[in-house]
Structure 1
Amino acid sequence: MATVGVTHHQMFIDGQDVDSDQVFEIRHPATNELVCTMAKGTVDHADQAVESARRAFESGVWSSKPTEERAAIMRAIGDRIAVDLDDFIEAEISCNGATIRQAIGFHCGLASGHFLYFAEQAERYEFERDVPTVAYPTMSMNRVRREPIGVCAAIVPWNFPLVLGIWKIGPALAAGNSVVVKVDEKTPLSLLKLAQIAHECGVPPGVLNLVSGEGKEVGARLASHPDVDKVAFTGSTAVGREIMRLASGTVKKVTLELGGKAPTIVLPDADLDIAPDGALFGCMLYSGQVCESSTRVLVHESIHDEFVQRMVARARTIKLGDPSDFDTDMGPVVSERQRDRIVDYMERAKADGATVALGGGTPEGPEFESGWWIEPTIFTDVTNDMQIAREEIFGPVMVVIKYSTVKEAIAIANDTDYGLTAGVWGGDYEDAVEVGNQLRAGTVWINNWHQIDPALPFGGYKQSGTGRELGAGALDEYTEAKHMHVDLTTKLERHIFDILLSTPPEA
């Protein structure tokens, strides 16, 4: 039941608000105050959303709509995101604790441009192409068609729900699919607003549905549902494995963007006036709650001490506080559970022999008595076999590893189960690029971090996932390729039927 006096939000299925007998409480990570409630979806709601999406897809109300019409509606949605940016920012930071500067620059600021990119792709994508063929053994005409898959499930995490939701919703809609979005129970509001805006801008009922619910129930149902043709998931590697297992029952197409333990290699000639700030930006943005964060910083022994000294000094200037204050650099982590998990990792790192160069716990002060807070933390004397160097922490915790040779640094960087992102800081661009070429990661940044462009692919090697989001090939993940062969041979004797039918036909 909804709490009296608190705003209550419902799911969005088949163009209608849909409530539930149970609710999630949405609490502000900085204060633990109740923000609102959200209907708690069930397996039945997931089935209802899939049925609606399937019905809409089969009707052709969106899947058969001319691409220029789909693109026009999607452009209207992208423009509305920009117009309503303040509302999206409030919806997002009240749930996930991002600072307002980060929300403007990343969480919500990227949303309109990324959605508009997929609106453009709806018109520019090559849905059909003719393929030149040789005349042997018979003359023919061949065409490759890219057709929408059908019903796509988008399972979205709590850290960047709007943008990461758009990475799935955008290409799915551009290709002509219907979509069921499963929001995280902690951060449903920005995607709920997007679904409502999409409906207002002309997306027909059933084409874009939004459900909530526990991942182990509602997410699992979507992953295994026989009428879901594609699953796109962003989250932990452990959950990604389970989604892949569930999807295998009906051999669904799956896109997984999973965990990371990204290395950044600081070469001996790196600019020490820039690289320490860059390393902190790579790790500490949004309290380290980014899958592609630079959490392992590999520093050459010749500059190690000075680099760490400069980086610690700069990290001391990071201001923790109210996320809605423009002067705040870093806010809380998302939940009590997340805070306790990070604290546990830090305590184990200390027990393993890592040295706390900065932070290592929770901040003190009356402003931090409520909510879920972690200090910006830097560990030194870390070796790559320590747990803190191997597992994804998802917090503002950096480990610094000293190396002697570039070959050693590359080996350490690649010695991980993950391969989402990596980076290099160096003064000689050719050397830095050569190192980057040897790093096994889906994205490698040279002298920067967190540079995401919707026109460029994003995804990981190894256990960081499968498939790619963004880029010119993003719609490939949401379409099926069909080869259409039209034989142009008009005389029987010119066919190759005699491979089977050796006796000539009677005159």
Structure 2
Amino acid sequence: MVATPLDHLMLIGGSRVAARDGRWIDSFNPASGGIWARIPRATAEDVGEAVSAASQAFRAGPWPDMQAAERALLMLRLADLVEQDIERLALAETSDNGKPLWEAISQVGRVPKWLRYFAGLSDKQAGDLLPPEQNGILAYTSREPLGVVAAITPWNVPLLLLTWKLAPALVAGNTIVVKPSEIASVSTLLLADLINQAGFPPGVINIVTGYGSEAGTALVAHKDVAKVSFTGSEATGRRIAQTAGDGLKRVTLELGGKSPQIVFSDADLDAAARGISAGIFLASGQTCSAGSRLLVQRSVHKALLDRLSTLCSRAIVGNPLDRRTHLGPLGSKEQLEKVTSYISLGRSEGARCFIDGSRIRVPGFEEGWFCGPTIFTDVDSRMRIAQEEIFGPVLAMIAFDSEEEALHLANDTPYGLAAGIWTQDVGRALQLAPLIQAGTIYANMFRGVSPAAPTGGYKASGIGRENGMDAVREYQQTKTTWANLSSPVADPFPPTSI
């Protein structure tokens, strides 16, 4: 297939390249349903070239000889370049995944903050001096990079979630091969130009695009990849873990979520309604930590539902380029079909579909993949809509009577990524926090993130942590060094007398 002006090239060894066999993947605009760009369909051979470039850059050339401050300077340059190009990068994300432009600008706008935070950690990677076993013996630990890291990123927040992997991996001294989702690769490919402008040595950062079953599988299985960092579905994460396990590779997996939000009768219901709506409906529910399970104390169930209904009635679903739009389309036609099938399933399970946003026709965008806020009531915790990740703007309300019941329901899910607690009794929230099986707990708020705050899941929500110093250590291995400074070396075969 011949290249067109819509095409975007990969980054391998510092060069922008198409797939070796010349094949492309169409990228669809979720608002119109039409093709707006094409990305290379990388083969296993393309992936092998990228890993080879990363491996060479890790072993030789300027990267392994750079001081921590020099690596930090490159990251700071990249942060400045991204900051100057936020709107173009955000527009690419909106065109790829349908996120409202204002939201994409906000998320891409955080990328420089993450890069600068981790650049600041680059010269703070210290080992430990160990207590001597005897006089004259020195023992200490040091932290070393792993080698080539594979980063497989999702379509819902492409650049920011890439930065969660890229920044700590680089700070730790690794090189990296990035494989973005085939649904939303363009913003990552645009970043390639900025990476080269920042002055990263060729091969330190490589970007390949293609299908997970082809490029992704080849990348995870490659013998020279030391670690895989993946954000996406639980099913794909399990397959990656199995493949990585065969090669004894390290993994960081940020997988699915079915996060509970617990509302007690003493909560500020207006604040809770706003936080709950933002936690499930913004981004059209397409976030792993979306608060999709609403546990409400029975005495305030109706009052909270009334407030949620009022907020939903004001939600504008429409053109993602219109600044007035609150919810854009879902990220793909397949995602729309999945969400609408779950809405049908909820009805068949016996739940009441109190607000149905299953398929919305937006004037001028009739072929777009739009879905509005949906609320189910009369939900039993055993229903599939209460147990399985839908990844859409669908909220399942479950009533409870006691604190003990609320805690049981909160943990009654295979996932454990995040949880919210709404109560004016902060002491109660802090007492419940350690009892909830989730990696992040929010009290009277929901979905806050920071480059300094570790993020990750319990149970089926994943392995490892992103962000903070914890993230850097996910990309390092510890070495212990012993040195004899002045202690006499014992004779292993001392002479004996008869």
| Matched-pair contact (CA < 8 Å) for 2:101–2:320 | yes
Deviation (angstroms), 1:258: 0.4
Corresponding residue SS for 2:299:
coil
* Letter of the structure 1 residue corresponding to residue 121 of structure 2: Q
What are the within-5 Å matches in structure 2 for residues 348-363 of structure 1?
Answer: 348-363=345-360
User: Whole-Å Cα distance in 2 between the matches of residues 135 and 206 of structure 1?
Assistant: 43
Residues 374-409 of structure 1: per-residue CA shift (max 9 Å, x gap): 121000000110000000000000000000101101
For the aligned residue pairs, the C-alpha RMSD in angstroms reads 1.5
Deviation (angstroms), 1:104: 2.3
What are the within-5 Å matches in structure 2 for residues 176-325 of structure 1?
Answer: 176-325=173-322
What are the within-5 Å matches in structure 2 for residues 47-446 of structure 1?
Answer: 47-106=48-107, 108-126=108-126, 128-131=127-130, 133-136=131-134, 139-446=136-443
| Matched-pair contact (CA < 8 Å) for 1:2–1:8 | no
Which of 437, 457, 470 is the aligned partner of 1:473? 470
| Matched-pair contact (CA < 8 Å) for 2:319–2:365 | no
Deviation (angstroms), 1:489: 4.0
Deviation (angstroms), 1:3: 6.5
User: Whole-Å Cα distance in 2 between the matches of residues 387 and 306 of structure 1?
Assistant: 26
| Matched-pair contact (CA < 8 Å) for 1:268–1:300 | yes
Describe the shift of the 1:29–1:2 C-alpha distance in structure 2 as closer, same or farther (beyond 3 A): farther
| Matched-pair contact (CA < 8 Å) for 1:355–1:379 | yes
* Letter of the structure 1 residue corresponding to residue 57 of structure 2: A
Deviation (angstroms), 1:55: 0.8
What are the within-5 Å matches in structure 2 for residues 16-27 of structure 1?
Answer: 16-20=15-19, 21-27=22-28
| Matched-pair contact (CA < 8 Å) for 1:2–1:37 | no
* Letter of the structure 1 residue corresponding to residue 53 of structure 2: S
User: Whole-Å Cα distance in 1 between the matches of residues 364 and 125 of structure 2?
Assistant: 51
Q: Tell me the TM-score normalised to structure 1 length.
A: 0.95
Residues 166-204 of structure 1: per-residue CA shift (max 9 Å, x gap): 111111111111100001112112111222211211100
Residues 282-304 of structure 1: per-residue CA shift (max 9 Å, x gap): 11110000001000010001101
* Letter of the structure 2 residue corresponding to residue 63 of structure 1: P
* Letter of the structure 1 residue corresponding to residue 455 of structure 2: F
* Letter of the structure 1 residue corresponding to residue 369 of structure 2: W
| Matched-pair contact (CA < 8 Å) for 2:352–2:376 | yes
User: Whole-Å Cα distance in 1 between the matches of residues 232 and 496 of structure 2?
Assistant: 63
| Matched-pair contact (CA < 8 Å) for 1:384–1:401 | yes
Deviation (angstroms), 1:505: 7.9
User: Whole-Å Cα distance in 2 between the matches of residues 491 and 143 of structure 1?
Assistant: 20
User: Whole-Å Cα distance in 1 between the matches of residues 279 and 382 of structure 2?
Assistant: 22
Describe the shift of the 1:231–1:427 C-alpha distance in structure 2 as closer, same or farther (beyond 3 A): same
User: Whole-Å Cα distance in 2 between the matches of residues 347 and 341 of structure 1?
Assistant: 10
* Letter of the structure 1 residue corresponding to residue 195 of structure 2: A
Deviation (angstroms), 1:161: 0.9
Q: Which runs of 5+ in 1 are unaligned?
A: none
Describe the shift of the 1:386–1:2 C-alpha distance in structure 2 as closer, same or farther (beyond 3 A): farther
Deviation (angstroms), 1:139: 3.7
User: Whole-Å Cα distance in 2 between the matches of residues 403 and 367 of structure 1?
Assistant: 43
Instruction: Give aligned pairs, total.
Output: 495
What are the within-5 Å matches in structure 2 for residues 439-458 of structure 1?
Answer: 439-458=436-455
* Letter of the structure 2 residue corresponding to residue 116 of structure 1: R
Describe the shift of the 1:65–1:173 C-alpha distance in structure 2 as closer, same or farther (beyond 3 A): same
